[in-house]
Amino acid sequence: MRPGSAAGSAPPRWWRWWWPYLSAFFLIAAGWALGLPANGTYDEKDHIARAYAVATGQLTSHRTVVDRRDDRKPAFLVPASLLPSNSNVDCAWSPRPARSADCQRWTDDRVRVLTPSGAARYSPVYYLLVGAPLVLAPGPTGILLARLISALAAAALLAGAVGAALQLGSRLLALGVVLTATPMAVNLAGSVNPNGLEIAAGVAVCCALLALLRTPGARLGDRAVRRLLVLAGVGSLVLLTVRQLGPVLLALIVAVCAALARPGRIAGMWRRREARWIVAGSWSLGLAGSLGWMAYSGVAGVAPVVRDAQHLAPMQLAQVLATRRIPFYLKQVIGQFGYGETKPSLVVIAAWYLLLGAVVVPSLIHGGRRLTLVAASLGAACIGLLVALELHYLPIIGWFAQGRYAMPAAAGVVLCAAGAPQFEQRLARRRRLRPYCAVLTCVAVALHLYLLAFVMTRFQSGPGARLDPFAGAWRPPTGGLLPLLAVLAGGTILVVLAVVVAGDDGSAPARAGRPRTIRSAHAGARGGHAGARGGRAGAARAG
């Protein structure tokens, strides 16, 4: 029998929270799915065309078409009804000035037309997941259903991440999962875009590995280990196969979790046959699939775009990176919506970073030097990855990197810090853990609601319009109220869970636990008196 299996053979009670967290995350992402027009999120038109193509067997395409910018792009044959016409699918943001989504023009005609896609050579894995509704109902209905499927898959991984956090016994890590599901992350999760699922997968893998490598042995029974291994394996497989940066992002996550592992835990896990089969198997399969697809599709090759390519002197390049690009990465992690033209107030961005700081900073202060070094190294590596992408692609196609590309690994900065027990124990001793988690979750939900209303107003009435998600020339197909109600319902569930989970230590219910504690105390006292009497008798005999 493996160590800890006897004590931990019962199902971990922490996993009972998976369903409510799944509902909460899904409702919040669904609010974004319901509230935005087609192509209302980065590159969604490209991913919609790609998903339809993959679902109909068009894994690659040798056809090309000239897009609105006079660039020749790969194209697929898709129904004309799938998207607004090629001439105005981008009209809400380009050409400038940006305007409401009322400018889009739809048709019911299902004749197949050549439609360009910048995602034409991306891995088909994600698109197989969301493509069926687009084939059955090519148009707004199919897009909405595909978005909801994407939202559900991301929510399942985020809920699994919370389960892993609670298996570790860390309520602050569960809060960290909620806070790393930023408005940008759930906006992407509620769209046809693999980036949202990729972010959720990165969060799930990080939490699963932290739980496997840091949970005390008495809490980590065989069944718990298997659940965590499956979560890590599924998350890794998703991370490796949906986008090209997956192998690098997974390597960063694994490195930081290994650096924080308990002594001997990695070797102990490797001795388990299921660990070798599930985790190593998923990594090998995912890496083979990723590299194989790259070789087959040629996705790593990029055609030069002379119009956008730039050749800057080193000092000028450093200045642009420091003053424009890196601030853009940091803002987009929280929320810079549409195609980057929909920018919330810096006050809102700062407010979300204050929420993250309220977890990260005190956790690092109380967590020790190693934790601070690991978290800082991961943050620097994520920024370095984005800068490296810029340096590579700038002379070929122009500015390329975006903050959302690094989010699957960058979330680990928050999660690794939140998973350290010292600050949480300090809050618990002072009976402040529950209000701390509840207040931070309430503020996060309020920001989710505000930003959805802000982005809805932008697409309904145009940029700069007075905040009103119930007016405008364009309206969501389901109306302006339902998206907000979905986010409100999901946020309410998160707040209730924050209150309940922060007061639950994973033991038996409180009403049953108190009498047992009292009886145990009396039994201990009786044992102490008996021991004392025995000690006096023994002393008398010895005398």
24 vs 189: CA distance, rounded Å: 13
466 vs 461: CA distance, rounded Å: 9
Residues forming beta bridges with residue 116, ordered by sequence position: 75
Residue 535 has pLDDT above 60, yes or no: no
- Return the DSSP state at 323: I
Digit-coded pLDDT (tens) for 291-306 = 999 888 877 667 788 7
Phi, then psi, of 113 in degrees rounded to 5: -130, 150
Give yes or no for a contact between 129 and 496, defined as CB atoms under 8 angstroms apart.
no
Q: Which of 367, 385, 355, 416 is nearest to 249 (CA)?
A: 385
Positive or negative: CA dihedral 162, 163, 164, 168: positive
Report the 10 Å Cβ neighbour count for 86: 18
93 vs 101: CA distance, rounded Å: 9
Digit-coded pLDDT (tens) for 190-205 = 999 999 999 999 999 9
- Return the DSSP state at 12: P
Q: How far is CA 305 from CA 71, 128, 302, 308, 533, in A?
A: 8, 30, 9, 6, 90
Q: Which of 142, 31, 33, 26 is nearest to 481 (CA)?
A: 31
Residue 536 has pLDDT above 80, yes or no: no
Give yes or no for a contact between 491 and 445, defined as CB atoms under 8 angstroms apart.
yes
Q: Quickly state the pLDDT bin for 73 (edges 50, 70, 90).
A: confident
Token reading at 302: 């990029």
* Preceding peptide of 247 cis, ω within 30°: no
SS3 of residue 261 by DSSP: coil
Residue 529 has a pLDDT of 44
Token reading at 160: 């699994």
Q: Quickly state the pLDDT bin for 217 (edges 50, 70, 90).
A: confident
Q: How far is CA 374 from CA 256, 260, 364, in A?
A: 6, 8, 10
Residue 403 has a pLDDT of 96
Residue 110 has pLDDT above 60, yes or no: yes
167 vs 171: CA distance, rounded Å: 10
Digit-coded pLDDT (tens) for 467-509 = 999 999 999 999 999 999 999 999 999 999 999 998 765 433 3
What mean pLDDT is reported for the chain?
89
Positive or negative: CA dihedral 475, 477, 481, 484: negative
Q: Which residue has better confidence, 352 or 520?
A: 352
Report, as an integer, the average pLDDT of 522-540. Answer: 43
Residue 1 has a pLDDT of 35
Residue 401 has pLDDT above 70, yes or no: yes
349 vs 336: CA distance, rounded Å: 9
Token reading at 276: 């070798």
Digit-coded pLDDT (tens) for 237-252 = 999 999 999 999 999 9
Give yes or no for a contact between 198 and 246, defined as CB atoms under 8 angstroms apart.
yes
Residue 51 has a pLDDT of 97
Residue 504 has a pLDDT of 61
Give residue 195's identity as a one-letter amino acid code. Answer: N
Q: Which of 67, 22, 29 is nearest to 49 (CA)?
A: 67
The full set of domain ranges for the chain reads 13-38+139-502, 39-92+110-138
> How much is the pTM?
0.90
Q: What are the b/e assignments for 7-24, b being 16+ CB within 10 Å?
A: ebeeebebbebbebbbbb
Q: Between vectors from CA 389 to CA 182 and to CA 355, what angle results, nearest 5°? A: 20
Residue 418 has pLDDT above 60, yes or no: yes
Residues forming beta bridges with residue 115, ordered by sequence position: 76
Digit-coded pLDDT (tens) for 37-64 = 999 999 999 999 999 999 999 998 889 8
Report the 10 Å Cβ neighbour count for 445: 22
Q: Quickly state the pLDDT bin for 542 (edges 50, 70, 90).
A: very low
Match 């034409």 to its residue by tokens: 120
Instruction: Write out the H or E segment, with its range, that includes residue 72.
Output: strand 72-79
Per DSSP (E only), the strands in 45-179 are 64-66, 72-79, 112-116
End-to-end CA distance of the chain: 47
Q: CA-based diameter of the chain, in Å?
A: 106
Residue 57 has a pLDDT of 95
225 vs 219: CA distance, rounded Å: 10
**Residue 132, CB half-sphere, CA atoms under 13 Å: how many?**
5
Q: Quickly state the pLDDT bin for 402 (edges 50, 70, 90).
A: very high
